[in-house]
Amino acid sequence: MTDETFYAGVSEQARLLRKGAVSARELLDGCLDRVDRVDGRLHAFTVVLREEARAEADARDAARSRGEDLGPLHGVPVAIKEELDVAGQVTTFGGRANTRPAAADGEVVRRLRAAGAVVVGKTAMPEFGQWPFTESTAYGLTRNPWDTTRSTGGSSGGSAAAVAAGLVPVGIGGDGGGSIRIPAACCGLYGLKPQRGRVTSAPHPHLWWSLGTTGPLTRGVLDSALVYDVIRGAMPGDRFHADEPSSSFVDAVRAAEGTVRPLRIGWSTRSAVRGFRAELEHIHAVHETASLLERLGHHVEEVDPHYPDSTAAFVPQFFGGVRAEADEVEHPELLERRTRETLRLGAWVRPRTVEWAIRQGEKVAAKVNRVFDTHDLLLTPTIASRPPEVGVLDGAGALRAAWKAQPMIAFTALWNITGNPAAAVPAGFGSDGLPLSVQLVGRPHDEPTVLTVSAQLEQARPWADARPGLA
């Protein structure tokens, strides 16, 4: 198999598998070979499930030979972030403090397997996903395939590196402050954070309370939609539930192939975090994308979203989210020093404090969403700075790490507080040779509009053929 197969993406690999142009075992073995050749330089994977994945791929091929109905992800290799349960594997949350394997797949992983996907392994993250840099004492530094001296961002940086390097066509991540969109921006991928409650958090009632959600990182928009149509849907035990979308996500992407009604799109390069301004190349990317959207027939204008201070809504939920996950580990004495410092700093956060913060988030959402009274979408930068050199967290305590995180989350974290869908959309490359990205934010519960316009941008400014120079 050639690089074309490995970089083909979810939908194309699924098509090749369904028609028998390649078997699930052949594709998996090719992916494992690429992992062996490339991942030593990236550290995207924390564990590779070679024998389990081969057995799973063989089962997919056997089902096809028997003429059984094939799922939409039949034979497609997938990587899973370390915070999600995979049966028989330790859910490490990016650290060393857990040692007991999970008894069963989490619901998202179960749905992926039911759709025919083959789980290749688990991917790196900072401990409990606290930071937008994929670095930990347990697994070291995860490196950007476009430049291995640079960060992938985080916290889903392992999944991002695996997809960007063509090791798998999709990596599952999580987003509690930008952790899908930030690594997508750093690695040249498409990353949609869905509406809060769109994807189940089962077996847990929530992921970082109202902040977090789960979703894929992919090379293209259709790939993201295809995976979301498999994993979306809440469970009875979930704390949050999203409204039903107006269409399937795949149909929303395919709508871009026809006539799309003109939309009202506002753009802003103002940061939601005071004191942080986007670098010039990110501002130019927004301007160029705004001009492209105008040429595509949309009404585009600069707006001031009047961002309120969201500190009171975010910080208690951040501390409460880390505490909730830390309470699940078996050996808290093995937590990173920086994590233990986070837990000490957040000791004042009690359940009532978290509930108060969630209510503050609802007030923030009511103010911010006024921009959607007059606009269908909001266009902003995804991150404020260029991907930094790896080793960002070396020697940094919790407070210093939080300060270093601000330029990375300055445009993303607000939309975790409000719950709106928001996507990182590739926007070319910077002068440093690393990807550029812009963010499209939608009305509450309106992923279809975000996906349709994302697909329009992909058609007008294709990005999926770009690939890093890894052998």
Reduce the secondary structure of 66-128 to three states and give it as a string. Answer: CCCCCCCCCCCEEEEECCCCCCCCECCCCCCCCCCECCCCCHHHHHHHHCCCEEEEEECCCHH
Computed on alpha carbons and rounded to an integer, the radius of gyration of the chain in Å comes to: 20
The verdict on residue 431 lying in a domain is: yes
**Angle at 241 (CA atoms; ends 223, 224), nearest 5 degrees:** 5
In this prediction, residue 265 carries a pLDDT of: 98
Query: What pLDDT sits at residue 470?
Result: 73
What integer pLDDT is reported at residue 274 of this predicted model?
A: 86
Active-site annotation holds for 367: no
The answer to whether residue 471 is domain-embedded is: no
* Residue 466 within a domain: no
- Whether residue 469 is contained in a domain is answered as no
User: Per the residue annotation, which of 23, 155, 224, 268 is the catalytic one?
Assistant: 155
Is 141 within a domain?
A: yes
* CA–CA dist 67, 400 (Å, integer): 57
CA distance 85 to 202: 10
Report the CATH number that the domain containing residue 412 is assigned in CATH.
3.90.1300.10
Is the CB of residue 423 less than 8 Å from the CB of residue 193? yes
Q: Give a yes or no: residue 225 inside a domain.
A: yes
Range of the domain at 240: 3-460
Domain count, the chain: 1
Single out the catalytic residue among 151, 179, 224, 454.
Answer: 179
Question: Is residue 179 flagged as an active site residue?
Answer: yes
- How many angstroms separate the CA atoms of 184 and 206, rounded? 23
Q: What is the pLDDT of residue 465?
A: 86
Residue 219, SS3? coil
Annotate 149-215 with DSSP letters as a single string: EEE--SSSHHHHHHHHTTS-SEEEEEESSSTTHHHHHHHT-EEEEPPTTSB--TTSS-STTTT-EEE
Q: Is residue 223 one of the residues assigned to a domain?
A: yes
pLDDT at residue 275, as a whole number: 85
pTM metric for this prediction: 0.97
Per-residue pLDDT of the chain (471 residues; tens, 9 = 90+): 788 999 999 999 999 999 999 999 999 999 999 999 999 999 999 999 999 999 999 999 999 999 999 999 999 999 999 999 999 999 999 999 999 999 999 999 999 999 999 999 999 999 999 999 999 999 999 999 999 999 999 999 999 999 999 999 999 999 999 999 999 999 999 999 999 999 999 999 999 999 999 999 999 999 999 999 999 999 999 999 999 999 999 999 999 999 999 999 999 999 999 888 999 999 999 999 999 999 999 999 999 999 999 999 999 999 999 999 999 999 999 999 999 999 999 999 999 999 999 999 999 999 999 999 999 999 999 999 999 999 999 999 999 999 999 999 999 999 999 999 999 999 999 999 999 999 999 999 999 999 999 999 999 999 988 899 875
User: Among this protein's residues, is 155 annotated catalytic?
Assistant: yes
Any idea which residue has 């430049």 for tokens?
147
> Which position among 11, 23, 81, 310 bears the catalytic label?
81
Cα 35 to Cα 127: distance, rounded to the nearest angstrom? 23
